[in-house]
Structure 1
Amino acid sequence: MKKFLGSILISSLLLLAGCWDSLELEERAFVSGIAIDLTNDNTNNILNVTEQIVVPSGLIILPASSGSGKGYRNIVEQGRTIYEVGDIIERQEDRKLDGSHIEVVVISDEVVKDEFELADVVDIFMREKRMNREVILSIAEGSAGELLNIEPQDVKMPSQYLTQLIVGNYRLVGGDPQRFGNMQQYFLRKRSFTLPLLTTKGSSTGVELDGLAVFSGENSKMVGALKNENVDGYMLIQPMYNGAITAEYDGSFATFHIPDGTTKIKLKNKDPENLHFEFETSLDAELVETFYSEDFFAHKNMKKLEDSLKKRVESLITGTIEQVRDEYETDILGLGEHLKTKEPKIWKQVEKNWDYGENYFKDVEITLSVNIDIRETGNSVDTD
């Protein structure tokens, strides 16, 4: 019995010894967001980094409190790497910096257009074992640090507001933004991709999701951006789509909700030098608003309505294809991925020169097959 109790005591002491260097919560400074910019004079490739640190007392609103205290504070420092900046900031803190609760990282487009490759800038976030893999990566049009200084109305922290803004907009169309957990596959396989593009220009709320930043798989640099209608066209050709489209109808307009949309990619030939793809898009639509009085239950009027929506969808997708293929010459359309999974023999022939080098992608032919099924037209009907 004494031996048994002795073994328990020794085990307990060993467990306690294993925690001798652990930190209590109050000894940690939690980072919630990071913004990365260039310095005003970037001759030495120095980064200007803003780290948003949680202030716990500012997040608590007591009944007798006005709740006016900030739930965060921003610290700005410069350095050659993100780790170096973190080390500089930590020397100013009375607590240990903890990045395990970072929600969003925002990088200025000026950083990743010419100066740096994105893969190099974010290397620490993927290499650090304790880093949260669900961190959202986004691009700022202009200053990234400015986004961490906005004053949101409904939440206490700008980083939290940015996270909710990005996720909410992606969910509207049935998608999910890029997170650090799946970025490594793009860098290692040299795959092109998009990231949410944020701006403060002309926004009544301080910031808005302005489009999608387009990155080349060759060097992970930003080559351009999709905005407005070209974002709509890009979303329409995703495997699953849920959104709204406004189409012109007899000189007026009609808005449709798309609860169920799908797109399939088909390869029409097998000649690597002359590839022909088809986007087969099928949309179930509901008419939710129109500025035109019509009995849409009548077959001829329903056909006109479907044709107007089909024409609009084709126009949106075509505009996106032209910008991505002809201007950016960068495959964010999923054609290379289709070849890799469905036609591996062809992919092996073109893989090393798909959307860079000889660039087979810029010469592919892409046609559309759009099928519209308007299942509901609402309760209004012309009774004359």
Structure 2
Amino acid sequence: MNKWISYPLICIFLLILAGCWDRVEIEERGFVIAVGLDKAENGEGFELTQQIVVPGKFGPDSASGGSGDAYLNITRQGETMFEIIREVAAETSRSPFYEHFKLVIISSELAEEENNLPHILDHFIRYHEMRRATKVMIAKGSAKEILEVEPKNERLPAIYIDSISVNNFKNSRMVPVSRIGDLHEQLLNENSYTIQKVEKGEETVKVVGNAVIEGKTNSLIGFLEAEGTEGMNFLTGEIQGGIIKTKYKGQDIVYDMKTTNHKVKTIIDNQNNVTIEVKIQSEGSIGEALLPLNFEDPKVIESIEQQIEQEIKDKVMNTFEKVQEEFKVDIFGFGNYLEQQHYQKWQEIKKDWEQGENYFSQSTLKPKVNIRIRRSENILKSYK
């Protein structure tokens, strides 16, 4: 090629391929880190609250500023998510940017309507800036009010809530985080499932308990509170830590779980007689006792282990019976074990497992619990 032609072409290509031609300075970004979704006041469509970070407030000159200075909540209403977001983009000086998006909070009122969850999550699943790891929560009440909480130890409410949501390894009354990617799979397979519940207190929020979602309609049918969630975690194998409080000789003792394992075996005699055996094994230590304990005595340890075993059995049976009678949906995933262990019979009953005859609500649970208390990590006697 003639050099007089090639040189101008090279220069043109260099201009076109320049990496920063469409850059947006960080100060001009509107970093959306969380959204809250409520029902619109007129009953049609959504009310969307977007929590946007104000980058300039994080500099050294703003260190003494209030927690509310670092973010801005913008609330708008509309019939579709895309419509609302585009409207906000036209009204703000900073273009909304979702690469650091962390949290979607949906109000219970909105989640109760049939197939609302798929419509809401559709935008977050499709939009190219969204992350599949973004967490989803159901608010017991208003989602907007959750994002208006002013935490004392964080400058951004969304970061505060996001940090609490991952504490399930310390609290057995929390379910693991619910992410958009996981919920997308649930929406496709029509299984019932649970989502983390968030609730506003006077000055804080609580992420304890869970929202029960019926798989066929993808709608909220109720909440499992703290006790029920703890029992559910034992049945699903999601216990990652926490404590069990029980009585020994009329006084409180606290068992601190270090490791917990579970195994599920299913038995199908006939369609109306499905038995689910759940073996739960845990190893831990006594974290606190309001009476003197002598760990040199094997009978003392054995007696306490039996008491803790009975406490866990009671928890899982209470949860199982409540879900069977009140919700009538298999949020424990026992249907998956039936499919793996009895594939042919499962094909015959799967349509009536949660619907129709509802064999789930007729099934029998047999929990088997084995507790082992470590001696090496405890002093032999606390006091006389």
**TM-score, normalization: structure 1?**
0.91
User: How does 1:274-313 map onto structure 2 within 5 Å?
Assistant: 274-313=273-312
Q: 1:237–1:262: 8 Å Cα contact kept in structure 2?
A: no
Determine if contact 1:230/1:320 at 8 Å carries over to the other structure: yes
Distance 1:288 1:135 in 2: 35
Contact 2:175–2:196 at 8 Å: present in 1 too? no
Cα deviation for residue 268 of structure 1 reads 2.5
Partner of 1:272: 271
Residue equivalent to 2:255:
256
Q: Distance in 1 between the 2:318 and 2:58 partners?
A: 45
Unaligned runs of 5+ in 2: none
Q: How far did 1:383 drift?
A: 8.2
State which drifts further: 203-212 or 176-185: 203-212
User: Is this contact kept in 1: 2:255–2:287, CA < 8 A?
Assistant: yes
CA distance in 2, matches of 1:5, 1:307: 85
Using the TM superposition, give the Cα deviation of residue 79 of structure 1 relative to its aligned residue in structure 2, in angstroms.
0.7
Say which SS state the counterpart of residue 233 (structure 2) adopts.
Answer: helix
Aligned to 1:199: 199
Match of 1:100 in 2: 99
What residue number does 2:381 align with?
381
CA distance in 2, matches of 1:124, 1:383: 61
Distance apart, 1:116 and its partner CA: 5.1
Choose 255-264 or 84-93, whichever is displaced more.
84-93
1:32 aligns with 2:33: yes
Q: Which residue of 2 aligns with 1:67?
A: 65
Shift of 1:99: 2.0
Structure 1 residues 65, 230: CA separation in 2 closer, same or farther (over 3 Å shift)?
closer
* SS in structure 2 at match of 1:178: coil
| Residues in 2 aligned to 1:196 and 1:294: alpha-carbon distance in whole angstroms | 38
1:252-288: CA deviations, max 9, x gaps?
1110111111111101235334211111111112111
Counterpart CA distance in 2 for 1:98 and 1:237 is 40
How many angstroms apart in 2 are the aligned matches of 1:39 and 1:254?
A: 49
Q: Distance in 1 between matches of 2:202 and 2:169?
A: 20
Equivalences for residues 208-247 of structure 1 within 5 A: 208-241=206-239, 242-247=241-246
Indicate the RMSD between aligned Cα atoms, in angstroms.
2.5
Hey, what's the Cα distance between the residues in 1 that align with 2:258 and 2:357? 40
1:31 is matched by which residue type in structure 2? V
SS in 2 for 1:122: helix
Change over 3 Å in CA distance of 1:125–1:357 after alignment to 2: farther
Q: Following superposition of structure 1 onto structure 2, how do residues 14-33 of structure 1 map, counting pairs within 5 Å?
A: 14-16=16-18, 20-21=21-22, 23-33=24-34
TM-score, normalising length: structure 2: 0.91
Task: Answer whether contact 2:256 2:284 (CA < 8 A) is retained.
Answer: yes
Check the 8 A contact 2:190/2:215 in 1, yes or no.
yes
**Are 1:339 and 2:341 an aligned pair?**
no
Q: What CA distance in whole angstroms lies between the structure 1 residues aligned with 2:134 and 2:221? A: 23
1:198-231 CA-to-partner distances (Å, cap 9, x unmatched) read 111xx35421113111101111101111112111
Q: Is the 8 A contact 1:266 1:278 kept in 2?
A: yes
CA contact (8 A) 1:198 1:210 kept: yes
2:45 is matched by which residue type in structure 1?
Answer: I
- Counterpart contact for 1:210–1:227, Cα < 8 Å: yes
Once residues 86 and 236 of structure 1 are traced to their aligned partners in structure 2, the CA distance between those partners, rounded to angstroms, is: 41
Amino acid paired to 2:378: G
AA matched with 2:196: P
Assess if the C-alpha contact under 8 Å between 2:32 and 2:53 holds in 1: yes
Q: Report the 3-state secondary structure (helix = DSSP H, G, I; strand = E; otherwise coil) of the residue aligned with 1:114.
A: coil
Aligned partners of 1:363 and 1:178: how far apart in 2?
29
Partner Cα separation in structure 2 for residue 333 and residue 284 of structure 1: 23
Supply the AA of the counterpart residue of 2:179. Answer: R
Amino acid in the other structure paired with 2:191: R
Q: Distance in 1 between matches of 2:145 and 2:48?
A: 11
**CA deviations over 1:161-218 (Å, ceiling 9, x no partner):** 1111111245644963011111111011001111111111xx3542111311110111
Aligned to 1:12: 14
CA distance in 2, matches of 1:67, 1:40: 34
Count of aligned positions: 378
